[in-house]
Amino acid sequence: MADYLSPGVYVEEFESGSRPLEGVSTSTAGFIGLAQRGAVEGLPLLVTGPADFQRAFGSYLSESAFGSYRYLAYAVEQFFMNGGSRCYVMRVAPSDAKPATNGDRLADALSISAKNPGAWGNLVSVSLAPASKAKTQIYEVTDKRYRVKNANGFYAGDVVSFAAGGEVQLARIVSVQDNIVELAEPLDGDVVDTALLPSKVLSTSEFTLTVAFGDEVEIFEKVSLNPEAPSYLDKVASRSNLVDVTALVTSTAATAPFEQLTGDAEGVLEFVLTGGSDGTVGNLSAADFIGEDRGPGRRTGIQSFIDNDVVSIMAIPGVTDPNVQLSLVAHCENLGSRFAILDIPREKTKVADVLTHRDLFDSSYAALYNPWLSVFDPLDKRNIFVPPSGTMAGIYSRSDTTRGVQKAPANEVLRGVVGLDVQYNTGEQDILNPAGVNLIRSFTGQGIRVWGARTASSNSLWKYINVRRLFIFLEGSIKAGTNWVVFEPNNDQLWARVQRTIDAFLTRVWRDGALVGSSPSEAFFIDIGRSTMTQDDIDNGRLICVIGVAPVKPAEFVIFRITQKTGSE
């Protein structure tokens, strides 16, 4: 309770009602795969469009170099084409992939390497040119102390040059205070110049570093080799998206930084990085996609998505190794907040072969789709077959946005798809659909459509994709919207507020058509209080709320029973 010590009027705010509970997003996808460039460890990168993907991860990969691992770029493109709005991408690279470096160029002075491995780094050009960030004139000399007109831009440790009458002297700054600059060694001759247009100038010595990759150019102006200066090369270049730069030397009083690096007093030094390699596909293994947990901010592969709490749909396009797919499913089950879309190997087209692959899984957090899809390849200028997971992720996102997560992502048209690798008929689907394999089929006059909405679960309660994803939505929304409850007094007032909060949210969900029933009482129930908690629960800090909902199920089988009506009836 607040202290009231002085007489007066006190106005205070307090919360008396329930807090509004917002639904979490269910349409954000996460992709893992090979790319031209991009970080291979850390946090997955947000991508909001195909152009955004190309800026961060490069363009399409060739079939000759990457084979069946090249489908990430196509999957992301299909995701956005089919209605996706945002996704997170994590790159995987072979273990023998190497970043491009400066090699023997300036090897004793600078270490420059591409930001991440890949042959793309061999196209990064680097140039250095002398520069100066500050100039001033000297007004007064006292031993090694020089009173200057303006000391802004001068820092202890900087190398400065004094130019007078065509001659240049170099010195190192010991300290700077107000407009007094102290040098390690005194300057020779008469250095004072009070003229309006001075002919004797004291200047700092720096250089400008320019890094270019295609149309992407980064310019780091007037950087120095002085670790004490804000313009120190390592500090400034750490902002680069293209390269990692480390200075192996520090500034010396005898040499200007540009000359210290290049051996020349003036001019421009240009070179390109070399030694970058994409690695060999043969060195890829399931472990590269599963990833390693190297600690926060350094995880790779699937493990990198542990740090992401936004993604709700996961896919590794074209990678059908059972070890990888089972790890992805386990990842989704452990978190309980995301759903895996799995591809079936392209060569497995016969019903028996498809069922063999499908039998590896039993999870309500995953769904399998077949066959592969024919799309246009801008790289080879022809149609190619790509895995369906990227397209399906886009359809999930589109269906969630237009209809809601309660709508099964089926009977939807696939955009940008011109054909199927295999045309399955109804008889074959009669076998595959009950087994949990969702087929994509072509119907005369209706285009190519998703014709299945089943999970890979053997539990009939969770056989429909929309039911599982609805529960993911409900659980995530309630968890995110009730954090305020933690550490509140566990009493009747809190229980009532929690019940009102969840009741208002589920009523809105019911009105949106996600729950069955003609009234909220038929659609859900909320039980909280003494009926759900014992005194032991309360003593141990547990608040238990039991919620039951009746989700809508898709009309998977539409049956019209028709009979003949006779005239006498």
Per-residue pLDDT tens digits for 69-86:
999 999 999 999 999 999
Do 290 and 182 reside in the same domain of the chain?
no
What is the per-residue pLDDT for 143? 84
Confidence bin at 228 (pLDDT 50/70/90): confident
| Residue that terminates a domain, selected from 234, 249, 272 | 272
pLDDT of 302 > 90? The answer is yes
pLDDT at 21 over 90: no
DSSP string, 274-309: B--B---GGG--HHHHH----STT---GGGGGGG-S
Q: Which pair of structure tokens corresponds to residue 162?
A: 């004094």
* Residue 229 forms part of a structural domain: yes
Q: Do residue 448 and residue 534 come from a single domain?
A: no
Dist CA 202 CA 212 (whole Å)? 32
Which amino acid is residue 401, in one-letter code? T
Kindly give the residue spans of alpha helices, DSSP state H, lying in 11-49: none
3-state secondary structure of 235: helix
Number of domains making up the chain: 4
Residues 328 and 391 in one domain: yes
Distances (CA, A) of 509 to 2, 405, 550: 40, 10, 11
* List of residues 6+ apart from 481 with CB closer than 8 A: 19, 20, 21, 22, 501, 505
Alpha-carbon span 75 to 392, nearest angstrom: 9
Q: DSSP string covering 146-170, please?
A: EEES--TT--TT-EEEEEETTEEEE
The range of the structural domain enclosing residue 227 comes to 110-131+206-272
Mean pLDDT, residues 496-505: 93
Collapsed DSSP state (helix, strand, coil) of residue 473 = helix
CATH number for the domain harbouring residue 139: 2.40.30
Q: How far is the C-alpha of 502 from the C-alpha of 20, rounded, in Å? A: 9
* Among 171, 187, 204, residue at a domain's last position: 204
Domain CATH number, residue 411: 3.40.50.11780
Q: Is residue 483 part of a domain?
A: no
List the beta strands (DSSP E) in 63-153: 87-92, 110-114, 125-131, 135-136, 138-142, 145-148
Is residue 420 located within the same domain as residue 336?
Answer: yes
CA distance 86 to 28: 6
Q: Is residue 39 predicted with pLDDT exceeding 80?
A: yes
Regarding whether 342 and 309 lie in a shared domain, the answer is: yes
Instruction: Look up the CATH number of the domain holding residue 250.
Output: 2.60.40
Amino acid letter, 140: E
On whether both 296 and 373 belong to a single domain, the answer is yes
Please say if the pLDDT value at position 1 is more than 70: no
| For residues 195-221, average pLDDT | 91
Residues 443 and 557 in one domain: no
At CA 222, angle to CA 219 and CA 223, rounded to 5? 90
Asked if residue 266 has pLDDT above 80, the reply is no
* pLDDT bucket at 515, cuts 50 / 70 / 90: very high
Give the C-alpha separation, 503 to 513, whole Å. 15
Asked if 38 contacts 58 with a C-beta cutoff of 8 angstroms, the reply is: yes
State yes or no: cis peptide before 371, omega within 30 of 0: yes
Q: How confident is the model at residue 12 (pLDDT cuts 50, 70, 90)?
A: confident
The pLDDT of residue 189 is above 90? no
Is residue 81 situated within a structural domain?
Answer: yes
Structural domain contains residue 101: no
Predicted TM-score of the model (pTM): 0.89
Over the stretch 409-450, which tens digit does the pLDDT of each residue have?
Answer: 999 999 999 999 999 999 999 999 999 999 999 999 999 999
The pLDDT of residue 546 is above 70: yes
Domain presence at residue 277: no
Chain-wide mean pLDDT for the chain? 92
41 part of a folded domain: yes
Query: What's the pLDDT band for 569 if we cut at 50, 70, 90?
Result: low
Find, among 100, 86, 12, the residue nearest to 50 by Cα. Answer: 86
Residue 13 token pair: 């705010």
Q: What is the pLDDT of residue 499?
A: 93
Helix (H, G, I), strand (E, B) or coil at 413: strand
Query: In a 10 Å sphere around its CB, with 0-12 CB exposed, 13-18 middle and 19+ buried, how is residue 539 labelled?
Result: exposed
Decide if pLDDT at 475 tops 90.
yes
Strands 87-92, 29-34: pairing kind:
parallel
- Please tell me the number of Cα atoms within 13 Å of 191 on its side-chain side: 27
Mean pLDDT of 251-275: 85
Same domain, 143 and 197: yes
Specify if 260 maps to a domain. Answer: yes
Identify the H or E element spanning 332.
helix 322-335
Domain stop point among 436, 466, 496: 466
- Does one domain contain both 416 and 372? yes
* DSSP per-residue letters across 363-385: BTTEEEEES-EEEEETTTTEEEE
CB half-sphere exposure, 525, CA atoms < 13 A = 5
Asked whether the beta carbons of 343 and 376 are under 8 A apart, the reply is no
Rounded to 5 degrees, φ, ψ at 45 are -95, 135
Angle at alpha carbon of residue 230, lines to 226 and 236, rounded to 5°: 90
Same domain membership, residue 398 and residue 372: yes
Same domain? For 243 and 349 the reply is no
- Asked, for residue 104, whether it belongs to a domain, the answer is no
Q: Are residues 343 and 433 in the same domain?
A: yes
